[in-house]
Amino acid sequence: MTARDSADALTYSESVYVECAPGPLYDLVADVTRTGEWSPVCTACWWDEGDGARVGAWFTGRNETPDRTWETRSQVAVAEPGQEFAFVVGGSLVRWGYTLEPRDSGTVLTESWHLLPDGLAFFDERFGDDAPAQVRDRTEAAHAGIPATLAAIKRIAEVEFGQA
């Protein structure tokens, strides 16, 4: 059995309405150095020296759970101010993204997660027979983490941009 055989849903997304214009909200989510303020797992991120939110840029993230601490390298895949910011962990393993849609006086912010084919192969290679359980764990973490992240981003944006 492979990770691909046991994965329930390899994509997930949720949305929240934020009383904030798309421009400032984009600037917030594209500033990966602030990720630790809203992510339940990623406690810190930093750009490669001199880099920022542009397609092709790399950054490192430190993740912590009660069981372990680890770092990942990610590459920006989409950087469209006011519209979409996305990055891929390991350059090809897992895609995380934010899309922004203007609505009324604010923005519908959608966060998405997609375990990519290279990510499945990575789990198969690294974890062998335990790969399906590892994929399930990561999938459950995305399902729990995305709504928590969106709620925190909403709170921060509405306080910072004075539209709460």
Is residue 76 within 8 Å of residue 86, measured between CB atoms?
Answer: yes
Place of tokens 């375990």: 115
Q: Under a CB-based contact definition with an 8 Å cutoff, are residues 139 and 8 in contact?
A: yes
SS3 content of the chain, % helix, strand, coil (to 5): 40, 35, 25
Say yes or no to pLDDT of 118 above 60. Answer: yes
Task: Kindly report the pTM of this predicted structure.
Answer: 0.92
Provide the b/e sequence for 87-122 (b: ≥16 CB within 10 Å). Answer: bbbeeebbbbbbbbeeeeebbebbbbbbbbeebbbb
25-52 pLDDT, tens digit each: 999 999 999 999 999 999 999 999 889 9
63: amino acid identity, one letter: N
List residues bridging with 98 in a β-sheet: 85, 111
**For all residues of the chain together, what is the average pLDDT?**
92
- With bands split at pLDDT 50, 70 and 90, how would you rate the model's confidence at 8? very low
Question: Of all residues in the chain, what percent carry a pLDDT higher than 90?
Answer: 91
Residue with tokens 């539209």: 163
Amino acid type, 108: V
Tokens 């027979």 belong to 129
Question: What are the distances in angstroms from CA 60 to CA 2, 77, 120?
Answer: 28, 15, 21
Evaluate if residue 1 carries a pLDDT over 60: no
Round to whole Å and give the CA distance between 30 and 116: 21
Q: End-to-end distance of the chain based on CA atoms, in angstroms?
A: 49
- For position 42, what pLDDT does the model report? 96
